[in-house]
Amino acid sequence: MLQNSEDFIRQKFADYLSSLGISPKSHKNYRSDLSHFSAWLILRVRSIGSYIESLTEAVPFLSPNLAKEYRSYMEQNKIPVKTVNRRLSTLRHFARCLVASQTLDLDFMEGVENLSMGGNKRTSVGPIVEDYRSYLEAEKVSKNTVKNYVSDIRQFLAWVESANKQQSSINN
């Protein structure tokens, strides 16, 4: 995916993080989390028919519903709870940065809560994915390959479900 060298929203967020006086490692994690969200967001916005290339262009699409969809996406893809919560924390800082700089009028993270540490609510994608996992294990495929293939399938199915919901809402 192309990174727009003039993506001033990323720079604005980097400046905001620097003003907080956080450690270099935390700064790196925030930037990494924002990059993950940005890639997801750009693909999501493109899936509804708007061609964008940068986070700056995606900002007008930010909303609490979109943030909740991102949280659900991470849950469905079995991202570890600590990682999900760290990414959500990053987005809360990002939302504060956008509101403080008057880039956005609303806090798009309002009402988006962390996952409970007792485990996340994962939706079952059906027995066929588990059958495929069993097949791969029977074929003595490495654990990492099994994990990656199953994750890819879940991600694809989550995208299909989301696209179907989007299409349904458009049609209704």
* Tally of CA atoms within 13 A in the half-sphere of 46 that contains its CB: 13
Residue 104 CA to residue 162 CA, distance in Å, equals 25
> pLDDT digit string (tens) for 124-137?
556 777 778 888 88
Rounded to the nearest 10°, the torsion over CA 136, 137, 138, 141 is 70
Residue 108 is predicted with a pLDDT of 92
Q: Delimit the domains of the chain by residue range.
A: 1-120, 124-172
> pLDDT digit string (tens) for 88-118?
999 999 999 999 999 999 999 998 888 887 6
For residue 124 the two structure tokens come to: 């079952």
- Residue range 1-120, CATH number: 1.10.150.130
Amino acid, single-letter form, for residue 152: D
**Are 45 and 61 in contact, with CB atoms under 8 Å apart?**
yes
20 or 170: which carries more pLDDT confidence? 20
Q: What does each C-alpha distance from 17 to 22, 27, 29 come to in angstroms?
A: 7, 7, 11
Residue 93 CA to residue 84 CA, distance in Å, equals 14
pLDDT at 172 over 80: no
User: Count of CB atoms within 10 A of residue 5's CB?
Assistant: 7
**Are 54 and 13 in contact, with CB atoms under 8 Å apart?**
no
> DSSP 3-state assignment of 7?
coil
pLDDT at 123 over 70: no
Residue 41 CA to residue 55 CA, distance in Å, equals 8
Residue 2 is predicted with a pLDDT of 42
Mean pLDDT of the chain: 84
At residue 46, φ and ψ (nearest 5 deg) are: -65, -35
pLDDT at 24 over 80: yes
Residue 4 is predicted with a pLDDT of 45
> pLDDT digit string (tens) for 48-86?
888 999 899 999 999 999 999 999 999 999 899 999 999
